[in-house]
Structures are given as C-alpha cells and as structure tokens.
Structure 1
Amino acid sequence: MSKNTTWTLDNTHSEIAFKVKHMMISTVTGHFEDFEATAKTDGDDFKGADFNFSAKTASINTKNKDRDTHLRSDDFFNSEKFPEMTFVSKSFDGEKLTGDLTIRDITKEVTLDAELNGVAVDPYGQTKAGFEMTGTINRKDFNLTWSAVTEAGSIVVSDKVKMVVDLQFTKEA
C-alpha cells in the first residue's frame, strides 16, 4: 500500500553525523554536508512510514583536511567509485527504524533507535516533523577496513561507529 503524504528534508535543521573513538581515548565527530532524505506517511502518523536518505561520501567533514582526504580514499569510503551511501527503510514502529544501509558496494540491514520529537506548525504555516535517530554499526561490515595500531598497542580507529541522525521534515502541501 502506498503512502499518501510526502515529507521533504529541511536541510538547515538536519544533520547526519557520526562519532568514532580515536586511539580508544577520544572521540572524533564528523558529518556529511551534502545529504537528502524523504519520508512517506499516511497523513501525520509516522508509524509504518517509509524513510529514505542518502549522503555524498565526498562531503564528509571532520574538521581536519588530511583526515577527510583519507576518509574519501579507498582505505574508507572510496568516494570516487562509491559517491553515495544510502538508507532505505523496511519498517518503523515508532521507536525502531530498520532498513538497508549501503556503504561502498555492501548493503546490510541496520536498526536505529528513532524518536519522533514532535510535529508542529511553524510561523509560516508549514507542518514540520523532527526526528532523532541513533545507532551503532561496525565499519568493517561495510569494507571500511583500514586499521593501524600505535606503538603502545592501541587501535587508532575503533571498528564501532555511532551514527547520530537529526532530521526535520516539511510536509508537502
């Protein structure tokens, strides 16, 4: 059954970010600057909604030019060959969002904790919906396998990557 209401992303109030441990003592945060998302619902009820989002892997930003260049390389995203990462939902029960995440040429099912923060009408009469989605993936599941160990034996980059996705949608008229 197709959904009858389309919600488009409000990019200025949205972010797709990630956090990963560096040398197991600190956390590096990054985000994708170029991304899009849509939701399809039955009216204003998001239970059972269809979500899709994609991000341009070359738009990665960790506030460090050398690190960003490394992340775009074949050691990680290979942005030239695999310019987009995508997520296509399979189910949303109001708390858990399950779908297929594709990074590089590998697709895996992932489940994110997804909280609808609310639906409200803005001062311009537009209906908005805000979500916070979080989850952890293993980067090596997606062939992001680069690894190094310090002289002291610490892993430089953790295998676990925490995803933090904040999305605000605008209901299409």
Structure 2
Amino acid sequence: MQAKQNDAAATPRLGRYRIDTGASAVEFGSRHLFGLMPVHGTFKVRSGTVDIAEPLTDSKIQVDIDAASFHTGDERRDKDVRSAHFLDSAGYPVMAFVSASADATGVTGTLTVCGITRPVALSIQDSEVTPDSFTVRATTRIDRIEFGVTRARGMAGRHLDLTLKIKCVRV
C-alpha cells in the first residue's frame, strides 16, 4: 500500500535511506535570450543519503548532484554551461545540498555550487511512501548570480526553478 503526503501514514519509517540515482533527477527551468525563450533541462543525482529521525526536524539529507551532467538537449549550450565560463564542472564536479531542518512540508539547508554555499528552502510538493522506500518531489528557485555564475547576464536567465525528484530506498 502506498501513502500520499496528506495521509497520516505518509512519513517514511525511521532509519537510513540511500538515494536511488537511477530513479532520481534535478530538473530545471529558466529563460534565455533576454527572457524571451524558455529553457529546460536536467542534472543527474550522483549520490545521497536521507536519515529519517524522530522528531522529523532532526532528519538529515545529503544530495550530491553531478555538475557535468547538465543537459538541455542543445549540445553547444550544454558544453558551454559545463565549461569554466559557467559551472566549471571540471573544477567543481559536485553541487551539494545538505539539510539543516526538515518537516512534512519542506526542507531547509545549504546548496554549494562552484564552491559557493548559500541557504536554500525546498517546498515539498508531493510524496509517496512504501514500507521500504519513498519518493518526493520538492521545488525551489535559486539565483545563479548568488553562486558566482555571472556570465551572460542578459542572454541567460538569472533565476532557475528547480524540481528535485528523489527516490530513496531503505538500507
């Protein structure tokens, strides 16, 4: 039986979970060409763990995102964004999220991109819980300028809307 987020049984069992990287991704949306055109893409999740605790606010989350996996379907743009001009995925291969607090509606923590760490708040949109796993979809908006990704200010959108789709399996 699966429980949805609004169901009282929707909190995962206490314990450690690993992120199933094959079933998880970070999707993003932004605008380019002076805000005229939408652009969407994904990053792959490299690794991560979730420790569900009692109380839930003591739970810990660590997610490592592969910077070199930036993908929009436009090979030229993808290569440019992975380069030292934007994400510098060779110098900073991992973008890391570490939680500070969590509850049934959201998670706060820090996101590190290009060696710069900033606070971020994720809003949980929905979740699905089974006895040995759970899947969650959470959203946030980040400002790339705050992370030092400043190139092409007029051509590339400043804000990115992120959707994390994360599947966790009990270990």
Q: TM-score, normalised by structure 2?
A: 0.84
Tell me which residue corresponds to 1:41. Answer: 52
Instruction: Give 5+ residue unaligned stretches, structure 2.
Output: 1-13
Tell me which residue corresponds to 1:58. Answer: 68
Q: Is the 8 A contact 2:21 2:44 kept in 1?
A: no
Per-residue deviation at 1:5?
1.2
| Equivalent position to 2:142, from 118, 137, 141 | 137
Q: Is the 8 A contact 1:19 1:162 kept in 2?
A: yes
Aligned counterparts of 1:70 and 1:46: Cα–Cα separation in 2: 41
Aligned counterparts of 1:46 and 1:9: Cα–Cα separation in 2: 18
Identity %: 24
- In 2 relative to 1, CA 120–47 (structure 1 residues): closer, same or farther, beyond 3 Å? farther
Per-residue deviation at 1:101?
0.5
Tell me which residue corresponds to 2:8. Answer: none
Per-residue deviation at 1:51?
0.7
Instruction: Give 5+ residue unaligned stretches, structure 1.
Output: 122-126, 149-154
Tell me which residue corresponds to 2:165. Answer: 166
Q: Is the 8 A contact 2:24 2:44 kept in 1?
A: no
Tell me which residue corresponds to 2:6. Answer: none
Q: Give the superposed CA RMSD.
A: 1.8
Tell me which residue corresponds to 1:102. Answer: 112
| Equivalent position to 1:93, from 103, 115, 127 | 103
Counterpart residue identity of residue 59, structure 2 = A
- In 2 relative to 1, CA 41–96 (structure 1 residues): closer, same or farther, beyond 3 Å? same
4+ residue runs of structure 1 moved beyond 3 angstroms? 45-48
Q: Is the 8 A contact 1:37 1:52 kept in 2?
A: yes
SS in 2 for 1:158: coil
Tell me which residue corresponds to 2:129. Answer: 119
Tell me which residue corresponds to 2:16. Answer: 6
Counterpart residue identity of residue 51, structure 1 = I
Counterpart residue identity of residue 157, structure 1 = A
Aligned counterparts of 1:48 and 1:26: Cα–Cα separation in 2: 41
| Equivalent position to 1:30, from 41, 60, 63 | 41
Aligned counterparts of 1:18 and 1:47: Cα–Cα separation in 2: 27
1:14-53 deviations in whole A, cap 9, x for unaligned?
111111112212221111135222100137x855321110
| Equivalent position to 1:18, from 9, 25, 28 | 28
1:131-165 deviations in whole A, cap 9, x for unaligned?
111000100000100115xxxxxx32110111110
SS in 1 for 2:149: coil
Counterpart residue identity of residue 41, structure 1 = I
How many residues end up aligned between the 2 structures?
Answer: 157
